Chain A
Amino acid sequence: SAVISQKPSRDICQRGTSLTIQCQVDSQVTMMFWYRQQPGQSLTLIATANQGSEATYESGFVIDKFPISRPNLTFSTLTVSNMSPEDSSIYLCSVYTGQAAYEQYFGPGTRLTVT
């Protein structure tokens, strides 16, 4: 399986500010995804990060709030913009290796607290 790292691992931010989360993979991967996991909840897909094109956002998530970059096949960033306390969550990237089993693996997550 791919080795995935995220930075930062956690942060405490003030409302109205923005935070950029980085996701790095140790091998080239076809698909990268960004999820949000609110406290005690399941995982909700924010968007699919496409290399060389704009991200594909799920219903309820917009580019102005969650801009995403995917400059190459091993790296992506998610920015949480103009934060409010409701954005306090764990943000996880995941990758799909494209191999036969369609397996998705998750990064360790970024725990964001907005005060």
Chain B
Amino acid sequence: GENVEQHPSTLSVQEGDSAVIKCTYSDSASNYFPWYKQELGKRPQLIIDIRSNVGEKKDQRIAVTLNKTAKHFSLHITETQPEDSAVYFCAASPDSSASKIIFGSGTRLSIRP
């Protein structure tokens, strides 16, 4: 089955700097890659996603890139702010209906003031 690896497990950046989180997946049939943000004690929230027919997607300060050949995808957060501090999970959907998603292990992002 699908296996999603995520790194780093923890990341600390200065406020205003950029943060990058990287993931790899194993199943070449995966075609949907969402990113979730989970603040302490709260539910995971979908922040951005990308389908396999595009290489990059941007939404204000966050962007996701996808390299299907290498089976890599990444989350980029620019101009980081204190409210970006959270755990971020990447995920991949291993079947064509995109109904089941497999999560990475998570990255705890801390923004230093």
Residues of A within 8 A of B45 (CB): 106
- In the complex, the answer to whether A102 meets B93 with C-beta atoms within 8 Å is yes
- In the complex, the answer to whether B100 meets A48 with C-beta atoms within 8 Å is yes
- Which of B1, B34, B44 neighbours the largest number of chain A CB atoms within 10 Å of its CB? B44
- In the complex, the answer to whether B102 meets A45 with C-beta atoms within 8 Å is yes
Q: Give which listed residue, B1, B46, B105, contacts A104 with CB less than 8 A.
A: B46
Instruction: State how many angstroms separate the Cβ of B107 from the closest Cβ of chain A.
Output: 10
What is the chain B residue whose CB lies nearest that of A96?
Answer: B99
Residues of A within 8 A of B49 (CB): 101-103
Instruction: State how many angstroms separate the Cβ of B102 from the closest Cβ of chain A.
Output: 7
Residues of B within 8 A of A31 (CB): 99
Residues of B within 8 A of A108 (CB): 42-43
Q: Give which listed residue, B1, B42, B46, B100, contacts A33 with CB less than 8 A.
A: B100
- In the complex, the answer to whether B93 meets A42 with C-beta atoms within 8 Å is no
Instruction: State how many angstroms separate the Cβ of A32 from the closest Cβ of chain B.
Output: 10
Contact flags (1/0) for B20-55 with A, using CB distance below 8 Å? 000000000000101000000011111001010000
Q: How far is A96 from B101 in the complex, measured between Cα atoms in Å?
A: 10
Contact flags (1/0) for B93-108 with A, using CB distance below 8 Å? 1000011111111100
Q: How far is A31 from B105 in the complex, measured between Cα atoms in Å?
A: 24
Instruction: State how many angstroms separate the Cβ of A61 from the closest Cβ of chain B.
Output: 13
Contact flags (1/0) for A69-110 with B, using CB distance below 8 Å? 000000000000000000000001000100001111111110
A43 within 8 A of B: yes
A102-B32 in contact given A42-B105, A43-B44, A92-B43 (Cβ < 8 Å): yes
CB within 8 Å of A: which residues of B? 1, 32, 34, 42-46, 49, 51, 89, 93, 98-106
Interchain residue pairs with CB less than 8 A apart (16)? A31-B99, A42-B106, A43-B44, A44-B103, A45-B100, A45-B102, A48-B99, A48-B100, A92-B43, A92-B44, A101-B49, A102-B93, A102-B98, A104-B101, A106-B45, A107-B43
